[in-house]
Amino acid sequence: MRMDSAPPPGCTIAVVSEIAERRSRGRPRKERGAASTRSAIVRAAAEEFTERGYEAASLRAIARRAGVDSALVHHYFDDKAELFTATLEAPLRPDRVIDIVLSAPRAEIGETLVRYLLTQLEDERAAGRMVLILRTALGSGAGTRMLREFLTREVFTRLAALAHSDDADLRADLAASQIVGLMMTRYALKLKPVADAGPDELARRVGPVIQWHLFGDLDGRVGAGE
């Protein structure tokens, strides 16, 4: 899932050498290493998308913010969609979400998940990026797919599989819908009092709903598991 990781050892030197060889064909001159330049572009893109939204942000503006030539942005990313995809990893990493959640007792997975997500998004910058993802998901098929895959495939399907039930996919989708709805209400729409409630209170109220979707029996009992 991580799209912003540094290249493997030796890769940076190879990329810089390749760029140097292409200068005679019009490639822009790089003022810093390949890894740091790419990271600077991704950081600038995340800030630009957060402030202006996906549609209004331009690669030229991102290049100015990163302090690089716009042709260099095109060297690392084919288009704005690819660059936007690279920024989506910033707010939350699915592997970390799973590690944290699975370290909790089985009966507390729902509450732990909600508390962890909301606590991570208490950071203003992370919350801003999540709002960007939500807005894009509403207006873009690609954005919807990325958000759905992030929550459903990388988090909830793995959690629902713990129930060993035939309806794990449905459980995952329902749990994801609850989280998306909560994040939309809290961060994008900023509806009160949900927007003002603390992570602990929301975890206490919403967590059992997530728990039921993931592990509950159809007769209404919430499966705590062993």
Residue 93: pLDDT band (50, 70, 90) is low
pLDDT at 38 (0 to 100):
93
Q: What percent of the chain has pLDDT over 70?
A: 70
pLDDT at 160 (0 to 100):
84
Does pLDDT of 122 surpass 80?
A: yes
Does pLDDT of 196 surpass 80?
A: yes
Fill in the amino acid letter for 190: K
Distance, in Å, from the CA atom of 167 to the CA atom of 214, rounded to the nearest integer, reads: 10
Residue 89: pLDDT band (50, 70, 90) is low
Does pLDDT of 223 surpass 80?
A: no
Does pLDDT of 194 surpass 70?
A: yes
Distance, in Å, from the CA atom of 89 to the CA atom of 174, rounded to the nearest integer, reads: 23
Does pLDDT of 1 surpass 70?
A: no
User: What's the mean pLDDT in 119-132?
Assistant: 84
Q: Say what the pTM is.
A: 0.60
Nearest to 46 by CA among 154, 115, 123, 145: 123
Take residue 83 and report the two structure tokens written for it. 């660059």
pLDDT at 226 (0 to 100):
44
Count of Cβ atoms closer than 10 Å to residue 82 Cβ = 11
Does pLDDT of 25 surpass 50?
A: no
Does pLDDT of 13 surpass 70?
A: no
Residue 144: pLDDT band (50, 70, 90) is low
Tell me how far the alpha carbon of residue 163 is from its chain's centroid.
Answer: 25
Nearest to 111 by CA among 222, 190, 218, 4: 222
User: What's the mean pLDDT in 90-96?
Assistant: 62
**pLDDT higher for 124 or 204?**
204
